[in-house]
């Protein structure tokens, strides 16, 4: 995570970067994922959406709902109206039917999502095959941000319990935001990092959830 934030603060490649390192606009989509331990390529959201039968929503309405939710989110409290507007431009908005695995455990991540409407279960599959319910995410919930940022495998399944609407941010679009507006990008990634920090601290509590 420190490497991510350092990269965003500089807004440019380090002076000692190797010539074959990827350009900064590909940091999350390719460069950072090459550091991951998984040999399996991340499934693009377009392929997952096709498999789910997801339906694209109007961008204007979806962006309005995302900004409404994040305005009320304490982790996003440091974002200005302009930050929210710039961030929302890089999301896509989708409707997904009930009983669909939007995120699958152990797959490498290339996107995160925000619940706009509906309920999404977060389940951990045990070695013997049983799925254990960790939590249920409702409007405003963020899922998959850890794997988006560090290219690690997903920790859980995320399954729609009812017809749901989601906002999806792909690694390539996060790259685009970094390239176009690094100042807004660092504030947004910092807000996601604060959310992750709290979630990780709760892992040691007697009852805790887990990130996807």
pLDDT exceeding 70 applies to what percent of the chain?
76
* The 142-143 sheet, strands edge to edge: 55-56, 92-96, 164-170, 111-117, 142-143
d(CA 109, CA 136) in angstroms, rounded, equals 20
pLDDT(123) > 80: yes
Residue 180 exposure: Cα atoms within 13 Å on the Cβ side: 11
Q: What is the pLDDT of residues 148-158, one digit of tens each?
A: 888 789 999 99
Which is nearest to 163 in space by CA: 73, 89, 72, 53? Answer: 53
Ordered domains of the chain (ranges, CATH):
2-202 (2.60.120.10)
> Which pLDDT value is given to residue 68?
95
pTM for the whole thing? 0.80
Which is nearest to 207 in space by CA: 122, 135, 121? Answer: 135
Tell me the two tokens of residue 132: 């254990």
């Amino acid at each position: 995570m420190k490497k991510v934030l350092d990269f965003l603060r500089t807004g440019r490649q380090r002076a000692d970067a190797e010539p074959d390192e990827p350009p900064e606009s590909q940091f999350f989509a390719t460069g950072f994922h090459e550091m991951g331990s998984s040999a399996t390529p991340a499934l693009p959201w377009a392929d997952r959406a096709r498999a789910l039968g997801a339906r694209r929503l109007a961008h204007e309405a979806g962006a309005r709902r995302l900004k409404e939710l994040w305005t009320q989110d304490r982790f996003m409290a440091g974002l200005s109206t302009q930050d929210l507007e710039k961030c929302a431009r890089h999301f896509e908005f989708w409707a997904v039917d009930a009983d669909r695995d939007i995120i699958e455990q152990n797959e490498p991540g290339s996107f995160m999502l925000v619940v706009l409407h509906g309920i999404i279960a977060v389940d951990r599959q045990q070695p013997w095959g049983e799925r254990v319910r960790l939590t249920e995410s409702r409007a405003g919930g963020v899922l998959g941000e850890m794997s988006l940022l560090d290219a690690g495998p997903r920790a859980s399944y995320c399954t729609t319990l009812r017809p749901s609407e989601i906002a999806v941010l792909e690694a390539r679009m996060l790259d685009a935001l970094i390239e176009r507006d690094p100042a807004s990008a660092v504030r947004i990634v910092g807000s996601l990092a604060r959310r992750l920090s709290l979630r990780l601290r709760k892992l040691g509590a007697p009852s805790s959830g887990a990130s996807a």
